Every structure is written in structure tokens, then in C-alpha cells.
Amino acid sequence: MKYNTVIFDLDGTLLDTLDDLADAVNHTLGVFGKKTVSRDDVRRFTGYGAGHLISMASGEPKDSGLFKEILEYYLKYYKEHANIKTAPYPGVIDMVEHLRAHGVKCGVLSNKPDPAVQILIDLYFPGVFDFVSGEREGITPKPDPSGINTAIAALGGEKATTLYVGDSESDVIAARNAEVEVAGVTWGFRDREVLVSEGADVIADNCEELFSACI
């Protein structure tokens, strides 16, 4: 077995959350009289946490009082509407179960706010992952490596046999910063070219390819 610890991103990797993200962002923007953004805009703005997403979508700098109001509203609204159109990507649930059956320790580390991460993992992967965290106190968003390091420690893994799996450049950079290998999945929120150009160790076009790369 090449990797005995595999840590997954959530949005664009395990779950297709884009429509619910876009709907929550645009609802929030409308409440504050802001111009709405496209689904593709939301796709481009993801990957660096809710603060980055809302700042980019609203045009408000993160140090403004209005930004803080918009972000607070968005976080509450999205938590309550995070599972309307969201669904697992094809084959993901079976793939994770197969990894666990082969003795692989599996975790989730996302830049999504932790309450929404916990809700979605409990819904779609109850009892499957041994470590689950979103952005929260003590977990700095990717591409900072501290979250990956925390996950490895919690899972009892070693960096040499850990794979981080994600769909964006922030995932690849975070894994590099944590000195672990990284797999980029092409079914998520970024084009294949982004993952290739960032130097992902593995590029997977489907769950079968990802599973084969792990075992």
C-alpha cells in the first residue's frame, strides 16, 4: 500500500456543493443590495475559505464593517441551506469505503466553515471519517499547512505515507507546504490544467483512478 493515510478536501472533491454555495452567496448579496454573481464566479472564488469567497463576491475588503456583517449573515444562511442541491460525486462514497476496508485511515480537511462541514459529513458519510474539520479556531485555512499537520497527527499518520486529495490550487499548495504528496481530482471546481501546472503528484479523472493511486 502506497498511502495508509488519506485526507480529503470537501467542496469539489467529495461533494458537489457549488449550486448551494452560489445560491447562498447570491441570496446574501441580494439582502445587502449587492449585485449578484454567476455560478462560474463562485466557482473561481472558492478554495480559500468563506471570508475570501464573500469578499470577492461582494467587493468588500475584509477589514470593513459591512464585510463582517455580510459574512456573518452568509455563514448563518449557508449553514441552514447547505444541503438543498448538494450531492456526492459519482463513486465517492464507495471509494472511501473501499479505502477503509483496505486499512487506510481517512480524514477530511476543508476550508468551509466547520459547522457546515460537520453537517454535510454526518449526512453523507456518517461514521466514515476518523478526523473531520473545517475552518475553525486553531485551524488556519489552506494553503497554510497547519490543518493538514493537525489531521495527520489526529489520524496517527506519517507524512511519508499520507496523501492529501483536493481539486484546487490551494489544496496542492497546502500539501506542498505540509510536505505531503497530493492528488488533484479533475471533477471539481478547477480545470485539469490548474492541477497540472501546480504540480500535483497524482491527477485523477475518476474515483477508480484515485483508488488505484492510493493502494
pLDDT in tens, 50-97: 999 999 999 999 999 999 999 999 999 999 999 999 999 999 999 999
131-135: strand order across its sheet: 131-135, 105-113, 5-8, 162-166, 181-185, 202-204
What is the average per-residue pLDDT within 149-163?
97
What is the average per-residue pLDDT within 127-139?
94
Averaged pLDDT score across all residues of the chain: 97
Give the CA-trace dihedral at 36, 41, 47, 52, to 10 degrees.
-40
Extract the C-alpha cell encoding 88.
456526492
186-205: burial string, b at 16+ Cβ within 10 Å, e else: bbbbbeeebbeebebebebe
Strand, coil or helix: what is 165? Answer: strand
Going along the chain from its start, the domains and CATH numbers come out as 5-16+87-214 (3.40.50.1000), 18-80 (1.10.150)
Say yes or no to pLDDT of 17 above 90: yes
pLDDT of residue 97: 96
What is the average per-residue pLDDT within 123-151?
95
Whole-model pTM: value is: 0.96
Say yes or no to pLDDT of 1 above 80: no
What is the average per-residue pLDDT within 30-48?
97
Percentage with pLDDT > 90 across the chain: 97
How many whole angstroms separate alpha carbon 65 and alpha carbon 114? Answer: 23
How many whole angstroms separate alpha carbon 121 and alpha carbon 106? Answer: 13
